[in-house]
């Protein structure tokens, strides 16, 4: 039983890796990211918008409006809201698939510099849960809180594995469908080549007969 502990721990650690990035905004055109999320999963985005200061040549916290637009795999908007220059946004996936997260800034709120730098971290599942608030609300001690965290992690891993199995089944069916189409197309090409060859032979035979060469 002991040999299963290390892979399990590694899987838990890998699951909590975040996508911490920063990028620059220069106009109102949104920048979009694709996040692959299982169903019924909490997703949290933590951001900070900074403005370039020409005098100090440094980026500092700005007062710009930050727009977030999230679309589900069916391209339906599930979140569209304007936020302050620093904070977080949260949504829950109601079906597994690729979620499109687009961010932008309102140019009318820009003062002076038109260079913005945005820091963005996207967290999924139990890592987006504030367990400090959970412990206070449910009056959990340290041991009970740790059990709750491990239980949530196990549920999250099981949910992610189920989602991956669904995706594997989808791609397997897609591969089989593509393989069948390739096979049918190859057969159709062979049949077409055979018909063309038969027609050419009859045409040549008629031509030779007309010229009395045969």
**DSSP calls for 82-106:** EE-SEEEEEEE-SSSEEEEEEEEE-
At residue 2, the pLDDT reads 41
List the structure tokens of 80. Answer: 């569209």
Predicted local distance difference test score (pLDDT) of residue 17? 45
pLDDT of residue 143: 84
**What whole-number distance in Å separates Cα of residue 153 and Cα of residue 144?**
14
Predicted local confidence at residue 12, as pLDDT: 40
Write down the pLDDT at residue 193. 93
Query: Alpha-carbon distance 177 to 86, whole Å?
Result: 47
Which pLDDT value is given to residue 189? 93
Per-residue pLDDT of the chain (214 residues; tens, 9 = 90+): 443 444 444 344 444 444 568 888 776 678 898 988 888 888 889 999 888 777 777 888 877 788 999 999 999 999 999 998 899 999 988 888 899 999 988 766 555 456 788 899 888 765 556 677 767 777 778 888 788 778 877 877 887 788 788 888 888 888 989 999 999 999 999 999 999 999 988 888 887 777 766 5
Q: Residue 91 has what pLDDT? A: 92
| DSSP track, the chain | -GGGHHHHHHHHHHHT----EEEEE-SS--EEEEEEE-TT-EEEEEEEEEEEETTTTEEEE----EEEEEE-TT--EEEEEEE-SEEEEEEE-SSSEEEEEEEEE-GGG--S---EEEEEEEEEGGGGS-HHHHHHHHT--HHHHHHHHHHHHHHHHHHHHHHHHHHHHHHHHHHHHHHHHHHHHHHHHHHHHHHHHHHHHHHHHHHHHHTT--
Count Cβ atoms below 10 Å from residue 91 Cβ, excluding itself.
19
Whole-number Å distance between alpha carbons of 186 and 90? 50
């Amino acid at each position: 039983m002991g040999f299963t502990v290390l892979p399990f721990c590694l899987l838990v650690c890998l699951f909590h890796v975040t996508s911490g990035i920063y990028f620059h905004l220069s106009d109102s055109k949104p920048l979009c990211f694709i996040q692959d999320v299982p169903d019924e999963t909490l997703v949290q985005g933590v951001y900070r918008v900074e403005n370039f200061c020409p005098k100090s040549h440094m980026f500092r916290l700005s007062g710009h409006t930050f727009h977030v637009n999230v679309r589900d795999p069916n391209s339906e908007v599930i979140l569209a809201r304007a936020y302050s220059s620093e904070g977080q946004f949260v949504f829950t996936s109601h079906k597994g698939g690729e979620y499109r997260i687009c961010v932008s800034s309102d140019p009318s709120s820009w003062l002076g510099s038109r260079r913005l730098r945005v820091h963005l971290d996207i967290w999924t599942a139990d890592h987006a849960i504030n367990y400090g608030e959970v412990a206070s609300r449910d009056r959990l001690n340290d041991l009970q809180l740790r059990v709750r965290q491990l239980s949530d992690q196990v549920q999250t891993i099981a949910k992610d594995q189920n989602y991956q199995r669904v995706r594997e089944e989808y791609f397997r069916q897609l591969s089989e469908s593509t393989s069948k189409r390739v096979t049918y197309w190859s057969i159709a090409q062979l049949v077409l080549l055979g018909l063309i060859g038969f027609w050419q032979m009859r045409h040549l035979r008629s031509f030779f007969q007309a010229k009395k060469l045969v």
